[in-house]
Amino acid sequence: MNTPVMARVLRSTAGFALRNKTRVASFVSQRCLSTSPVLQDDGEKKSFATRQVQFIKSIFDKSDFGPYEIQKESHSSQLSDKENVYEIQFHAVKPEDMEEYLKQFSKFQELMHEKKTGAHLIGSFTVEIGDQDEAIHIWEYKGGYPVLNNATEIYRTDQDFINFRTSRNKMLRYRKNQILLPFNFWPAPVPREGKNIYEMRSYTLKPGSMIEWSNCWKRGIEHRRSNNEPVAGFFTHIGEQNVVHHLWGYKDLQTRKETREMAWSKPGWDECVAYTVPLIRQMKSRILIPTPFSPVQ
């Protein structure tokens, strides 16, 4: 491997190597990098280049699924072993219409059940801190995409739903949705009794880093169970890609503060943060209040 190519390979792994300082330091102390043709013949250069690549590959053990690990299955099948899919809806409501919007949406979610669409509302919220006048709804489709397809067909063609959309759309500034899969190490979202607040932390990750994120959080979430705060963890399957949503539940903002501070006293939490922060391109935190008809209170 020639010098420019090797330089690019080394630069591409620099970020990960910084988190493996002990191994890198040991390697550098044992070898003095030299590509001078006077000191190395072709055989020596080829052998040394091979050892360099082997070292770089050794940084990424099999559990980290580094770039040199050939994938035998999709990321989604590695990260989620459940048949259910989820939909998250973001509705930016005109401030003057929020009360009427919530009344109509309450009737809408009852219709979704009455008409046997297969869609189950698991959480409905308004944003208290973050993007103001935003409503967020999370739906579960037990049985996966066939159930989602059936629900979508009914929603598109049933006259009651057509009338609802006509009225609802006049109250919105914009809307978007994402189809999600649940991380297999997060608890399944279940109804909760109130009164609680919720925090949804949304992360846009660097492409190709979802597996590493999952491996770190599989250990890290164990440090966040003291107050039963994990509610649900998802990643996007359709829609905006490389997005993760973590939903946490707290009694109030003070409990949130104390719970988060407590995590830092547990060995291993600092490593989870240190390893995952470099994977993030963008993040957002919202404090959510359940709507009166939300199963999660």
Terminal Cα distance for the chain, rounded? 59
Residue ranges, CATH 3.30.70.100, the chain: 78-290
| CA gap 233, 221 in Å, rounded | 10
| Residue 253 predicted with pLDDT over 50 | yes
Per-residue pLDDT tens digits for 156-184: 999 999 999 999 999 999 999 999 999 99
> Residues 52, 18, 29, CA angle at the centre, nearest 5°?
50
Average pLDDT of the segment spanning 196-205: 98
Entry pTM: 0.74
**How many alpha carbons lie under 13 Å from residue 24 in its C-beta half-sphere?**
12
- Does the domain at 78-290 match CATH 3.30.70.100? Answer given as yes
Strands 85-93 and 134-141: antiparallel
Q: Which residue has the higher pLDDT, 154 or 62?
A: 154
For the segment 66-96, what is each residue's pLDDT rounded down to a tens digit? 444 545 556 666 787 778 999 999 999 999 9
Indicate if the pLDDT at residue 4 is higher than 70.
no
